């Protein structure tokens, strides 16, 4: 079936009180893991590609993801993650993406509004829906590190003004999460009151970036197999559940898939030094990513919603 827009999927999620995962892909095995988990759990899903992913895989990656998404029996959206410019969003739209994020959250509010509105007008004319962001997350983004103390949590009144001015369809908010595998010491503090206040002012779907759980079992396996990941921490699944209850409808996950892939590859290479068939190395990675995604779909409560 044709791909769904982000709004098709996320409006139903916000109205139904469940969350939908946006999982980043960069290759065939990751895309298969995402779609297989979606089919197995009957979950709608957003397959996200970042500008880095686009640079890595080019149009062949996008054509493959589009073809695989159209074959699925559940609603699938192809989403541009962290689009940095009008041109980048337009290029994605021309390639067949059905949702784009324009991320000008590091600019002043007036620039963020003007640039977001420009993308919204062009995207809507093409039948594509738009995510925007106000506030600033900490962590690693497009290889730039934003220190936790430089993160700016989204202010409810600014969020309302921003959405009214831009006409964007869903809003990424900063509420205590951050990108990458080091989200702070101990259990990161999620500002649920802030999420509730923003959700009370805005009826549209809200988006949580930097939502990976960074499961300690995976980190331990990674390090036992020769990895060196220190101070790893993620978002507790109870915080994700609570955020969904209050209006978060799209939950971004990339780090957990990177971890799962690397764990499985390291384990195969360590336990089978004679193996050099790529399918025997990447197949187990696909299986472990599918398991991780399946578990997250249960936590988000998107399972059974397609
Ligand atoms: O939020 C960023 C995503 O994890 C994508 O990361 O730009 O390295 O592909 P990337
Ligand atoms: P994680 O680094 O927590 O997986 O977040 C990914 C993300 O927000 C992609 O936009
Ligand atoms: Zn993000």
pLDDT score at 149: 65
pLDDT score at 150: 65
Give, in degrees to the nearest 5, the angle at Cα 273 between 270 and 279.
90
Cα separation of 195 and 120, whole Å? Answer: 24
Sign of CA dihedral 47, 49, 53, 58: positive
271 alpha carbon – ligand 2 mean position (Å): 30
Residue 133 lies in a domain: yes
pLDDT score at 214: 98
Q: Ligand 3 is a single-atom ion; what residues have CB below 5 A from it? A: 209, 252
Annotation marks residue 238 as catalytic = no
- Give strand ranges (E) for 57-183: 76-83, 99-102, 129-134, 138-141, 144-146, 170-173, 178-179
CATH code, domain carrying 162: 3.20.20.70
Residue 199 lies in a domain: yes
pLDDT score at 284: 98
Cα separation of 6 and 159, whole Å? Answer: 20
pLDDT score at 246: 96
Q: Which residues contact 236 (CB under 8 A, 6 or more apart)?
A: 187, 188, 213
Residue 244 lies in a domain: yes
pLDDT score at 271: 97
Our separate counts of H helices and E strands in the chain read 11, 11
pLDDT score at 137: 83
Domain span at residue 173? Answer: 6-213+232-253+289-300
Task: Name the closest-CA residue to atom 3, ligand 2.
Answer: 210
Pocket residue to mutate for ligand 1, from 105, 141, 144, 234, most atoms within 8 A of Cβ: 141
pLDDT in tens, the chain (306 residues): 899 999 999 999 999 999 999 999 999 999 999 999 999 999 999 999 999 999 999 999 999 999 999 999 999 999 999 999 999 999 999 999 999 999 999 999 999 999 999 999 999 999 999 999 999 887 656 556 666 666 789 999 999 999 999 999 999 999 999 999 999 888 899 999 999 999 999 999 999 999 999 999 999 999 999 999 999 999 999 999 999 999 999 999 999 999 999 999 999 999 999 999 999 999 999 999 999 999 999 999 999 999
Cα separation of 132 and 118, whole Å? Answer: 12
Ligand located closest to 254 CA? 2
Atom of ligand 2 nearest to the CA of 256: 4
Decide whether any atom of ligand 2 lies within 6 Å of the 251 Cβ.
no
Atom of ligand 2 nearest to the CA of 258: 4
48 alpha carbon – ligand 3 mean position (Å): 10
Pocket residue to mutate for ligand 2, from 22, 135, 211, most atoms within 8 A of Cβ: 211
276 alpha carbon – ligand 3 mean position (Å): 34
pLDDT score at 185: 83
- Give the chain's domain count: 1
Tokens for 99? 């949702």
272 alpha carbon – ligand 1 mean position (Å): 31
Could you tell me the end-to-end alpha-carbon distance of the chain, in angstroms, rounded to an integer? 13
């Amino acid at each position: 079936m044709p791909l769904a827009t982000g709004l098709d999927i996320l409006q139903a999620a916000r109205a139904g009180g469940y969350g939908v995962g946006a999982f980043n892909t960069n290759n065939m095995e990751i895309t298969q893991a995402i779609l297989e988990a979606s089919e197995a759990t009957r979950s709608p899903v957003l397959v996200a590609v970042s500008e880095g992913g686009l640079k890595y895989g080019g149009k062949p990656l996008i054509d493959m993801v589009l073809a695989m998404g159209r074959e699925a029996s559940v609603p699938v959206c192809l989403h541009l993650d962290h689009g940095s410019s009008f041109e980048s969003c337009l290029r994605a739209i021309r390639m067949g993406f059905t949702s784009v994020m324009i991320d000008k959250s590091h600019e002043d509010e007036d620039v963020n509004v003007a640039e977001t509105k420009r993308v919204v007008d062009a995207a809507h004319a093409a039948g594509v829906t738009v995510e925007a962001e106000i506030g600033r997350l900490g962590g690693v983004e497009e290889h730039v590190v934003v220190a936790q103390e430089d993160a700016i949590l989204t202010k409810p009144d600014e969020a309302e003004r921003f959405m009214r001015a831009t006409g964007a369809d869903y809003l990424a908010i900063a509420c205590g999460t951050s990108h990458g595998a080091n989200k702070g010491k101990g259990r990161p503090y999620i500002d649920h009151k802030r999420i509730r206040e923003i959700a009370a002012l805005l009826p549209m779907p809200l988006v949580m970036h930097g939502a990976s759980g960074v499961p300690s079992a995976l980190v331990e396996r990674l390090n036992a197999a020769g990895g060196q990941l220190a101070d790893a921490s993620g978002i507790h699944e109870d915080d994700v559940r609570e955020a969904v209850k209050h209006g978060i409808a799209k939950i971004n996950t990339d780090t957990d898939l990177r971890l799962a892939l690397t764990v499985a590859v390291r384990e195969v290479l360590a336990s089978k030094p004679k193996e050099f068939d790529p399918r025997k190395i990447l197949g187990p990675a696909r299986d472990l990513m599918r398991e991780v995604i399946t578990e997250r779909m249960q936590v988000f409560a998107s399972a059974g919603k397609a």
